[in-house]
Amino acid sequence: MSKDTYPVQWTGSRAIVMLSEDINAANAAQIREALLALINRGPAVLIVDMTATASCDYAGAEALVRSYRRAVANGTQLRLVVPAEVVRHVLSGNGLARVVSIYPSREAATAAGLPVAQASSAGPSQVSQDLLDDIMRNLFHVGLSLQAAQDAAHETGRQHILEALRYVDEAIRDIRDHALITGRWEIPPQSGPPDGAR
């Protein structure tokens, strides 16, 4: 196929690529290769616009997972635009929706701006403090929601638990985005061998 099969629009360090109506075993490898090639060009943000995508099978979802892994390795923030509920369901089923930000429209994905390290002149300690504040706020909401679920009726309790899970997902996204910005997870050094090790 021609190189224009999946049109790409560049704006500074952000790239937007439009995918096809159907993503399945017939074209998943081609889509994966196109996305990997784009990620290798080094955008800070890659928005995969699936507005036209009406169906996506396991092979298509796996192509997106492989692209996500390459994006993490290259320091590119991957965002998906997925308005179709059936496609969102497939991406939730393979776990991708938990680690990649999914937006209902291209405008929403674009409005999210560049990653903090690119968009802000704040130093690393301020970025870390902002991240900690966001995580603490989300975990506080988790606690409130779970407490309300404990005291509520069955259906209302379910709604509170779903709300708590949404806050947990936000905390995970905050941590993931921070890891992408810094390019590494900070693990404190161990002072000695683990218990029982000599």
What SS3 state is found at 57?
coil
Look at 81 and 167; give whichever has higher pLDDT: 81
152-166 tens-digit pLDDT? 657 777 777 777 777
Look at 99 and 138; give whichever has higher pLDDT: 99
Tell me, yes or no, whether 151 and 164 share the same domain: yes
Tell me, yes or no, whether 13 and 99 share the same domain: yes
Does a structural domain hold residue 3?
no
Domain end call among 114, 144, 162: 114
Does a structural domain hold residue 31?
yes
Q: What is the mean pLDDT of the chain?
A: 77
Domain that includes residue 55, residue range: 8-114
Instruction: Assign 80 a pLDDT band (cuts: 50, 70, 90).
Output: very high
* Rounded distance between C-alpha atoms, residue 13 and residue 103, angstroms: 19
Domain end call among 93, 114, 135: 114
Long-range CB contacts (within 8 A, 24+) of 88-94: 90/56, 90/57, 90/58, 90/60, 90/61, 91/56, 91/61, 91/64, 93/61, 94/58, 94/61, 94/62, 94/65
Does a structural domain hold residue 163?
yes
**Under the phi-then-psi rule, with left for phi > 0, alpha for psi from -120 to 50, and beta for the rest, what region is 195?**
beta
Tally the domains of the chain: 2
Tell me, yes or no, whether 178 and 84 share the same domain: no
Does a structural domain hold residue 152?
yes
Please name every residue paired with 9 in a beta bridge, in sequence order, or none if there are none: 16
% of the chain surpassing 90 pLDDT:
43
Say if residue 83 is exposed, middle or buried (CB neighbours under 10 Å; 0-12, 13-18, 19+). Answer: middle
Tell me, yes or no, whether 80 and 157 share the same domain: no
104-121 tens-digit pLDDT? 999 999 998 776 554 444
∠ CA 156-159-163, rounded to 5°: 140
Instruction: Assign 192 a pLDDT band (cuts: 50, 70, 90).
Output: very low
pLDDT at 36: 95
Model confidence, pTM: 0.59
Tell me, yes or no, whether 70 and 128 share the same domain: no
Tell me, yes or no, whether 110 and 16 share the same domain: yes
What SS3 state is found at 115?
coil
pLDDT at 118: 47
Tell me, yes or no, whether 129 and 155 share the same domain: yes
CB 19 within 8 A of CB 52: yes
* Rounded distance between C-alpha atoms, residue 70 and residue 89, angstroms: 23
pLDDT at 179: 59
Tell me, yes or no, whether 69 and 162 share the same domain: no
Tell me, yes or no, whether 177 and 109 share the same domain: no
Does a structural domain hold residue 187?
no
Does a structural domain hold residue 77?
yes
